[in-house]
Amino acid sequence: MQGKQGNGDVQRGLQPVVELRSEGASYLYSVRAPRSKGVIPPSSYSHTGFASVADCLRDIARALGGNFSRIYVRLEGHCVGERDIAELRKAPDIVAAELQALCRAVIAEQQKPPQQQQEQPSEVTATPRC
């Protein structure tokens, strides 16, 4: 018998991964399924030409909001967690700023010498499904 925990696991397995990247002076996003057994599937959709990350998020909310309630987010190749589609719709500018701050924190953590990474617990926790 499958309880609520199992149902949530199924939904998370179907939760898309949105990749946000800068492309010159504009931004693009692509959508793919989450990694499975270490394999990263190819993108199934891509859209380019946005002026900002917030503009990407607005379009993502419109495009995916009818089918999904949450997404995994990668920014500039770094996993920056999960977000509710409702957040993207209500406050894309705030979410964009938070995602960019998380991305900067991930990059800073990766640039620390290995000894410092082990000594200081990271405040940045990546979602393993990204």
The domain locations on the chain are: 4-119
* pLDDT-derived band at 130, boundaries 50, 70, 90: confident
Prediction pTM value: 0.79
Q: How far apart are CA 99 and CA 80, in angstroms?
A: 6
* pLDDT at residue 16 greater than cutoff 80: yes
pLDDT band for 113, please (50, 70, 90 cuts): confident
Q: Which long-range contacts (CB under 8 A, 24 or more apart) does 51-55 make?
A: 51/26, 51/27, 52/27, 52/96, 53/20, 53/27, 53/96, 53/99, 53/100, 54/92, 54/93, 54/95, 54/96, 55/27, 55/92
Question: What distance in Å separates the CA atoms of residue 54 and residue 97, rounded to the nearest whole number?
Answer: 8
Asked if residue 102 lies in contact with residue 79, where contact means CB atoms within 8 angstroms, the answer is: no
Average pLDDT taken over every residue of the chain: 85
User: What single DSSP character describes residue 35?
Assistant: P
Residue scoring higher pLDDT (129 or 94)? 94
pLDDT in tens, 52-96: 999 999 999 999 989 999 999 999 999 999 999 999 999 999 999
CA distance 34 to 129: 6
